[in-house]
Amino acid sequence: MLIKNMLQFKPFYTITSKIAQGLMRIEAVKEKVLYVPLTPLVLASLRQAAKLYSTHYSTMIEGNVLTQDQVKEVVEHKGHFPGRERDEQEVKGYYAALTLVEQWAARGTSLTEKMIQTLHALVMSGGQAKSKPSPYRDGQNVIRDGRTGAIVYLPPEAQDVPNLMRSLIDWIGKTSDVPCPIVAGIAHYQFATIHPYYDGNGRTARLLTTFLLHHGGFGLKGLFSLEEYYARNLGAYYEAISIDDSHNYYMGRAEADITPWIEYFIEGMAVSYENILKHMDHLAAKGTSDYRELIRNLDPMQRKALELFQNFKTVTSRQIGELFGFKPRTTSQLCAKWVENGFLEIVDYSKRGRKYKLSKHYEALLTSL
């Protein structure tokens, strides 16, 4: 039986110079991305590409053999690959879960156990929207070396999993003095350590990480893919997350020093972020100077609001409020400000159903590259 103090999650790590430098690199890229002048069409394309990359590489880590192009065909319902039905289901499941993660983060939803169980259900059901949240495993799970059969890791007993998961969620919710990237890295490690399910733990851990980064303001507009960084060198990924010499959770791993994992995780974030910034700079340089100047004149909230006009010719103040999570009064004030500075035009003046369209000055941004 697990002793009581082990159920209270208290990660042990040290902020090394490598971690500190990585955090500074991440913060620098985060600030720059806000002001890279790209049109909504290009941003939408980059965001979709990042989701496809994440789906491809996260499932590839688990042994999925579909190529990147095949993953795109499966997600877009344009292709079927006989004999690879299980791989197709894995791709659909991860993509659906990733989409839900972005929706939750956009609404500012706080993390709960049910959300994690819902993500796992999507992962394991091929993205079936009506899947019930997955209950935790009810027995022991043993991770073995695929070649030798030797035990690689013995997770905590099933009876301890619910308390360990509650402790993790509680720690995440109450941790306000730890940088978001470190919180996300620790959550990834601890989820994989608890191993609350028989299967799908790795994918769910990576989805949890993505949610926490988005929720904490480090979503980088949905343009990054940490999964690609892991998949490029799986040996380093597994080595970094395999803390402590003992394979038994109760014999060291529960209280291990996870500094090496955090160093690896932060470095992965920094590299992934920097690669995206280089790509965005390249695309921005291809745009006309007129369009680039138009985009530079917009603040980050206006750039985000442009996304609404990709799907709607006119939008209501309610839609704008939902996009940012604002109350009606705050939304009305924001819309009035945007009308005044020439970003929006009113097309319906009724108080209840007031509608807005993008001003002619900025309409070209919706179709330009």
Domains identified in the chain and CATH numbers: 4-281 (1.10.3290.10), 300-366 (1.10.10.10)
Determine the pLDDT at residue 259.
94
Determine the pLDDT at residue 151.
85
Determine the pLDDT at residue 8.
67
- d(CA 105, CA 212) in angstroms, rounded, equals 8
Angle at Cα 217 formed by Cα 271 and Cα 13, nearest 5°?
60
In this structure, the number of other CB atoms found within 10 A of the CB of residue 139 comes to 8
Determine the pLDDT at residue 70.
95
Determine the pLDDT at residue 324.
85
Determine the pLDDT at residue 201.
95
Determine the pLDDT at residue 1.
41
Determine the pLDDT at residue 284.
62
- d(CA 296, CA 290) in angstroms, rounded, equals 10
How are the residues of the chain apportioned to helix, strand and coil, as percentages rounded to the nearest 5?
65, 5, 30
Of 61, 252, 255, 258, whose CA–CA distance to 153 is shortest? 252
**Residue at 219: amino acid letter:** G
Determine the pLDDT at residue 300.
80
The segments of the chain whose pLDDT lies below 70 read 1-8, 244-245, 282-292, 367-369
Q: What is the CA radius of gyration of the chain?
A: 22
CB 79 within 8 A of CB 68: no
- d(CA 318, CA 304) in angstroms, rounded, equals 15
Determine the pLDDT at residue 208.
97
